Each structure stands twice: as structure tokens, then as C-alpha cells.
């Protein structure tokens, strides 16, 4: 009887230990992270999950990205996501749809700042990820939009990737026909860019 009791206690401790060691990365993004226009298994998020598994990392991925989401949408969804998943790391990949709608940069910045603050208040490390807009929005708007991400990263002391498509480099062979979303061939380049900033947080 003592042996059985001891065995049950040991199993319970192992189970609780596995729960305590479980770590997650929450991704709150838009179509870039949701795998728009491609097989989701080929997307950069799926590739990241494969990479973590191959390296026997304790981190799991929670992809809460929704195509079409803006910073306003993400801000509204974030509190419940943080409460439910309690992630060690939160990747915020939003702003592109705001930019495509010519949303005032100050509003985009305010929303992202609130998301960063919420994540940090939940003891979650933050990686802020931006995007490059098409050139037809004018130099002034593009410059102000691109400045949002490094400025917020400096103000809030978080990791930043100013443009997730920086390694795609406008190569048409790596882009879908809309010129905005990378195709399946472009996904590894996005993973590489994200990994360079994410790895130090792990």
C-alpha cells in the first residue's frame, strides 16, 4: 500500500513538474502570421514550431493571428489571450492592415504601446514585429510608419524586428501576386528574420 501511495505521489509530482516547465510563445498577428494564401503548414509560424521541436525546446506555439486584424483588433483580444495562455513570450505582429488603411501613425503607435504594456504587466517578454508597406503611400507616411516599431522598442525596452519581410527584399519570386504577402518560398526568410530576434529571448 505504501508503495502504491508513493508511486501515485511520484506520478503527480512529475505531472505537476511538466506543467510548470511548459512554456509558450503567443503570436498575435494578422495575415502575415496566419498563413494567408498558402498552406498553413508552410507558414513561418509552423516552421518556427518545427524548429523549436527539432531543438527539443520547451516552448510551444500559440498562434492567435487573424487575417485582416488591425492593432485595434489585437488590443481588444490581447487581455483574454494573456489571461488564458500566460505566455512567457508574446510576439506582436500587427500594424500592416492599419497602414494599408492609412491609419494615423500616432494611433497605431498608441495601440501597440498598450499591447506592449499589457504583455509586460503579464510578465511576458515582447518581440514587436513590423512590416514594410507598398511604396504608393508616400514617403512621409512610410517614414513615419516604419519609425513606429524601433521607437516603441526603445521606449519600452523590448525586442524588435522592424520589418518581417526584410530578408524577402521585394523579390517577386518570393511574393504572392498581391505583392504584399510572401508565398511559401518566402516563409523561411521570414522565419530567419524572426528567429534572429526571438532566440535571445528563449
Catalytic site includes residue 139: no
Q: How far apart are CA 89 and CA 123, in angstroms?
A: 9
Residue 2: the pLDDT is 58
Q: What's the grid cell of residue 146?
A: 516604419
Kindly report, residue by residue over 124-151, the tens digit of the pLDDT. Answer: 999 999 999 988 889 999 999 999 999 9
Listed by start position, the domains of the chain span 22-201
DSSP state letter for 64: -
Kindly report, residue by residue over 10-37, the tens digit of the pLDDT. Answer: 444 444 444 445 799 999 999 999 999 9
Catalytic site includes residue 80: no
Catalytic residue among 33, 65, 109, 181: 181
Catalytic residue among 69, 80, 178, 184: 178
Digit-by-digit pLDDT tens for the chain (202 residues) are 554 545 454 444 444 444 445 799 999 999 999 999 999 999 999 999 999 999 999 999 999 999 999 999 999 999 999 999 999 999 999 999 999 999 999 999 999 999 999 999 999 999 999 999 988 889 999 999 999 999 999 999 999 999 999 999 889 999 999 999 999 999 999 999 999 999 999 9
Nearest alpha-carbon partner for 124 in 178, 201, 52: 201
Q: Which residues contact 144 (CB under 8 A, 6 or more apart)?
A: 105
The CA-based angle 29-173-175, given to 5 degrees, is 20
* Beta bridge partner(s), residue 125: 89
Catalytic site includes residue 30: no
Catalytic residue among 31, 65, 109, 119: 31
The CATH classification of domain 22-201, taken from the options 3.40.50.300, 3.40.50.1110, 3.40.50.970, 3.90.1150.10:
3.40.50.1110
Amino acid at each position: 500500500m505504501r508503495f502504491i501511495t508513493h508511486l501515485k505521489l511520484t506520478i503527480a509530482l512529475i505531472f505537476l513538474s511538466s506543467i510548470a516547465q511548459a512554456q509558450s510563445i503567443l503570436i498575435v498577428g494578422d495575415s502575415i502570421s496566419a498563413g494567408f494564401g498558402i498552406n498553413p503548414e508552410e507558414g513561418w509560424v509552423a516552421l518556427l514550431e518545427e524548429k523549436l521541436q527539432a531543438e527539443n525546446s520547451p516552448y510551444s506555439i500559440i498562434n492567435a493571428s487573424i487575417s485582416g486584424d488591425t492593432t485595434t483588433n489585437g488590443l481588444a483580444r490581447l487581455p483574454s489571450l494573456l489571461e488564458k495562455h500566460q505566455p512567457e513570450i508574446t510576439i506582436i505582429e500587427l500594424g500592416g492592415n492599419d497602414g494599408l488603411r492609412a491609419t494615423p501613425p500616432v494611433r497605431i503607435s498608441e495601440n501597440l504601446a498598450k499591447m506592449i504594456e499589457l504583455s509586460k504587466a503579464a510578465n511576458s517578454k515582447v518581440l514587436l514585429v513590423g512590416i514594410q508597406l507598398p511604396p504608393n503611400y508616400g514617403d512621409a507616411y512610410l517614414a513615419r510608419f516604419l519609425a513606429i516599431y524601433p521607437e516603441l522598442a526603445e521606449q519600452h525596452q523590448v525586442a524588435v524586428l522592424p520589418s518581417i519581410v526584410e530578408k524577402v527584399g521585394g523579390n517577386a519570386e518570393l511574393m504572392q501576386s498581391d505583392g504584399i504577402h510572401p508565398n511559401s518560398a518566402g516563409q523561411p526568410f521570414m522565419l530567419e528574420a524572426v528567429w534572429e530576434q526571438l532566440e535571445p529571448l528563449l
